[in-house]
Amino acid sequence: MARSTRRLTPWLSVVALGALTSAAGIASAMTAPARMGATSGPQPTAPIAVPGPGAGCPAPAGVPTVTLSFIEPTPTITVPVGSPLVVEVPPWHWGEDSDVSAVQAGLLQERCSVVLSNRGRRAIFTAVAPGYTVIDAGVTPASNVFMPAWSAEVTVVPASAPPGPSLTTSIELPTTLVSGSTVTGTLVVTNNSVDTINLNAHGCHPHWGIGLSSPSIPFQPAFTTECSTAPFLLSPGANRLPFTVSVTYGACAYPGYASATTPLCLPGNRLPPLPPGQYQAVLASEATELHAAPVTVEVVASAP
């Protein structure tokens, strides 16, 4: 499931990659064009201005802390408005860590930032507004040979979140389905708060879908990687979202590749109908806020 947050990964310049591959036959997917005007190795740069009072930036005990990383999965942390946040940046084998910056402005306010004795960095922020952002840092002086790009994802939530879950979700679907048919149902998402909730707060409209599953034929959802920036708004109260379910296998195969869960395709590459029996309609979603209890349905060979 891909989201359109910035992916911050280390990179090798084209020049450096060519040298490595010719010497050792190494292939790497972490490539990027060489920087204009860059030379191999670290270059001198102006000193970093360290904001905050004095040179110290002690981490208070018990404060939420996140350590940036350039290795996926990206670290994540959630803090309420008004809470401090300690950000640690690991040291690198040359130079000093640059200051931490937030991609989305207005959510975090930096209180202090300091280079540590190991040339790593500590920065302390205060969460000032709800939202989602990526925070990142690099190394100075920079190099076009190999540059780490540390990052983490920060979600700021309201300070007084209502108790209990804000959303409750249920599946409405006929309990008897005809094999091979397409059936319409409704996903009912009840917003228990007094505010409209946008499930697109992370930048991409989350995909979701309903499928049929049994112990012998599991539901294996697959979503496209497209990212829509359209909001996914849920008003207070019940939100009724229509969907369709195909009472067929989710995939089929050519002769010689069929299996118990992936049967032969019908003429025209059509999906075969599900065999009669008991199934569960289950919800699959990229939005972690959406959870629904499965609904038991009976698949029959023909309409009663």
pLDDT digits (tens, 9 = 90+) for 18-38: 332 333 332 222 323 333 333
3-state secondary structure of 286: coil
Q: What is the pLDDT of residue 144?
A: 64
Mean pLDDT of 100-128: 91
Mean pLDDT (the chain) is 78
pTM score, whole prediction: 0.48
Is the pLDDT reported for residue 16 higher than 60? Answer: no
Q: Which two tokens stand for residue 5?
A: 């947050």
60, 64, 67, 70 alpha-carbon torsion, rounded to 10°: -150
| Beta-strand relationship, 84-89 and 65-67 | parallel
Q: Is the pLDDT of residue 51 over 50?
A: no
Amino acid at 38: A
pLDDT at position 164 is: 54
Q: Is the pLDDT confidence value at 54 over 70?
A: no
Tokens of residue 142, six digits: 């920079």
CATH 2.60.40.2020 maps onto the chain at 59-157
Task: Tell me if 188 sits within 8 A of 240, measured CB to CB.
Answer: yes
User: d(Cα 251, Cα 220) in Å, to the nearest integer?
Assistant: 9
CB count within 10 Å of CB 91 equals 16
The residues, ordered by sequence, that sit 6+ positions from 181 with a Cβ below 8 Å of its Cβ are: 246, 247
Q: Cα dist. 43→37, 182, 284, 299 in Å?
A: 11, 63, 50, 68
59-157 has CATH 2.60.120.10 classification? no
Average pLDDT over residues 272-300: 93
Contact of 247 with 181, CB cutoff 8 Å: yes
- Read off the pLDDT of residues 166-197 as tens digits, 9 standing for 90 and up: 899 999 999 999 999 999 999 999 999 888 88
Fold of 167-300: Immunoglobulin-like (2.60.40)
Q: Give the per-residue pLDDT at 97.
A: 83
Of 103, 218, 191, nearest to 153 (Cα)? 103
Average pLDDT over residues 117-143: 89
Positions of CATH 2.60.40.10 in the chain: 167-300
